[in-house]
Amino acid sequence: MTDSRISRRRLLVGLGAGAWLLSAPGAFAERLLTPAQTLGPFYPDQLPLDRDNDLVLVDDQLTPASGTVVHLHGRIVDANGRPLADALVEIWQVDARGIYLHSRGGDRARRDANFQGYGRFVTGRDGRYRFRTIRPVPYPGRTPHIHFAVTLPGQPRFATQCYIRGERLNARDAILNAIRDPKARELLIVPFVPVAGAVAREQVARFDIVLGLTPTS
């Protein structure tokens, strides 16, 4: 994926396809593991009733969340690139006003009630996940980011964060820059690409997560 615009047709094909990746040469080459990051203090202290993978609309409401819509997708794989099925993928983030769903995550009176704030998706055999959310915004002390947690049967929960390539605040974010290895740090920073031809401003971002699995007895 590049930083240039991507068409809606390419977006739909890219999100729906991917079987060729499983048989492509080098698909199972060993790769760098995704760095773990703090779960953070703002994992929802009370999960919403609507927990699906569309964070832009809550339940059957017609009013969407404020912000730029992002089609966020990727694959959960092991160190050899093999897709991991039945992985529970959770995301949570601030709304367009910089407020979390968490009860202590900002001014509750200003929170966007049309933003779900949290979503989940269980991967299939291809290891793929997808969400519709909004482009994250900064808040005091943090560059824009989206929290991720991945839980596989019999494995401990893995937490990390996804960042926007080209965001100037990345250079000053203490949590991101706590990862001293530049190559490892770059694994968490991905392009958010405008979707050409979209009626509303929309973007697409791909964030793959590579897990090192803990041996089970």
Query: Tell me, what's the pLDDT at 41?
Result: 94
**How many secondary structure helices (H) and strands (E) does the chain include?**
4, 11
Residue 217 resides in a domain: no
pLDDT level of residue 17 (50, 70, 90 thresholds): very low
pLDDT of residue 77: 98
* CATH code where residue 95 lies: 2.60.130.10
In a domain, 60, yes or no: yes
Residue 76 in domain = yes
pLDDT at 12 over 70: no
The H or E element that residue 13 is part of is helix 8-16
Structure tokens given for 119: 């979503």
Average pLDDT, the chain: 89
Residues 6+ positions from 196 with CB-CB distance below 8 Å: 5, 6, 7, 8
Q: Is there a domain that residue 125 lies in?
A: yes
- 66 found inside a domain: yes
pLDDT at residue 3, as a whole number? 46
Question: Exposed (0-12), middle (13-18) or buried (19+): which is 96, by Cβ within 10 Å?
Answer: middle
Lowest mean pLDDT among 13-22, 105-114, 171-180, 189-198: 13-22
User: What whole-number distance in Å separates Cα of residue 187 and Cα of residue 203?
Assistant: 19
Rounded to an integer, the average pLDDT of 127-143 is 98
Element (H, E) at 42: none
Does any domain span residue 216?
no
Q: Domain of 150?
A: 6-211
Alpha-helical runs (H) found in 40-188: 174-177, 182-186
| Number of domains making up the chain | 1
Q: What is the pLDDT of residues 26-64, one digit of tens each?
A: 445 578 999 999 999 999 999 999 999 999 999 988 999
Residue 173 has a pLDDT of 98
170 domain residue, yes or no: yes
Residue bearing tokens 């031809």: 197
Is 39 in contact with 172 (CB distance < 8 Å)?
Answer: no
- Give the mean model confidence (pLDDT) for residues 187-199: 90
- Position 7 scores a pLDDT of 56
Task: Give the side-chain half-sphere CA count within 13 A for 210.
Answer: 16
Give me the pLDDT at residue 30, please.
Answer: 73
pLDDT value, residue 156: 96
Domain assignment of residue 1, yes or no: no
- Residue range 90-104: average pLDDT? 97
Q: What pLDDT, on a 0 to 100 scale, did the predictor assign at position 8?
A: 53
User: Which of the four pLDDT bands, split at 50, 70 and 90, describes residue 14?
Assistant: low
In the prediction, which pLDDT does 26 show? 44
